[in-house]
Amino acid sequence: MILADSAANAWIERAPTRTPEIFVTVDVVILALRDDDLQVLLVKRKLPPFEGKWAIPGGALRVDESLEEGALRTLREKTGVTNVHLEQLYTFGALDRDPRGRTITIAYYALVPAPLAVQAGQGTTDAQWQSVYALPEMAFDHEEIVKYALKRLRYKLEYTAVGFRLLPETFTLSQLQRAYETILGVKLDKRNFRRRILQARVLEETGEYRLGEGRPARLYRYRADAVAEIKARRLFP
């Protein structure tokens, strides 16, 4: 757009003389199923602000890295976790989310089939898996971020086959149902669950069985193309 001289001068006079400093960070929510509980990886902060409080792993973005590279780097530095598939979750930018100044964070989340081994790293004194249903007092707006990740997971679980990332390679239908119930926070009818999950055609039989105290249980796995959208409108409303 080209402005006449008088209009351009007026615009320049109204423009701020100094651009306020805005910080950009990346944070990662990692979720895993263990003991019929959905857990999230948290770290305990070593330095202020919020010294001694729990937080999701994250940190400042460097000028020479992409958003995902920054997320993976801070995750590795603070917890020792590597080789996880990240998906961008949301951007959080409330004016008062960081007492140090205006800070915008790009949050990512990852689903892993079992809690990974973790260790406290840079800027942290501890790293633990904790239940998303019993979160401790957390730094910044990280409780809000974890709850948003849970909401996103529940939505995707009902419309897609994203749940395969939280399960071992092979599983029984009973294991799958417990996983859905843990994530959705509801009890599901066994007969209806099995009928609808099999109708979705995202599973295939392995030909193997899991032996236990009762009748051997048939083992399934997600089909190779199970990451595609499920045809049904909603599996479990």
Q: How many domains is the chain partitioned into structurally?
A: 2
Q: Is residue 147 part of a domain?
A: no
Amino acid at 231: K
Residue closest to 222 by CA, chosen among 133, 155, 160, 154:
160
Q: Which burial class, exposed, middle or buried, applies to 172 when counting CB atoms under 10 A from its CB (0-12, 13-18, 19+)?
A: middle
Looking at the structure, tell me whether residues 67 and 163 fall in a common domain.
Answer: no
In DSSP terms, 54 is beta-bridged to 44, 138
Looking at the structure, tell me whether residues 124 and 180 fall in a common domain.
Answer: no
Which among 105, 140, 175 is the end of a domain? 140
When comparing pLDDT for 114 and 6, which is higher?
A: 114
Give the pLDDT of residue 234: 56
Looking at the structure, tell me whether residues 134 and 199 fall in a common domain.
Answer: no
Question: Which range marks the domain in which residue 210 is found?
Answer: 158-222
Residue closest to 176 by CA, chosen among 220, 131, 129:
220
Give the pLDDT of residue 236: 59
Q: Is residue 14 part of a domain?
A: no
Looking at the structure, tell me whether residues 177 and 100 fall in a common domain.
Answer: no
Distance from C-alpha of 202 to C-alpha of 223, rounded to nearest angstrom? 6
Summarised one tens digit per residue, pLDDT across range 150-204 is 999 999 887 777 888 899 999 999 999 999 999 999 999 999 999 989 988 889 9
Q: Is residue 87 part of a domain?
A: yes
Give the pLDDT of residue 193: 92
Q: What is the pTM of this model?
A: 0.87
Summarised one tens digit per residue, pLDDT across range 96-134 is 999 999 999 999 999 999 888 899 999 999 999 999 999
Helices (H), 115-234: 142-159, 173-184, 190-199
Read off the pLDDT of each residue in 61-72 and give the average, rounded to a whole number. 96
In DSSP terms, 110 is beta-bridged to 30
Predicted confidence (pLDDT) at residue 225 exceeds the cutoff of 60 = yes
Looking at the structure, tell me whether residues 172 and 63 fall in a common domain.
Answer: no
Looking at the structure, tell me whether residues 100 and 35 fall in a common domain.
Answer: yes
Residue closest to 123 by CA, chosen among 45, 42, 28:
45
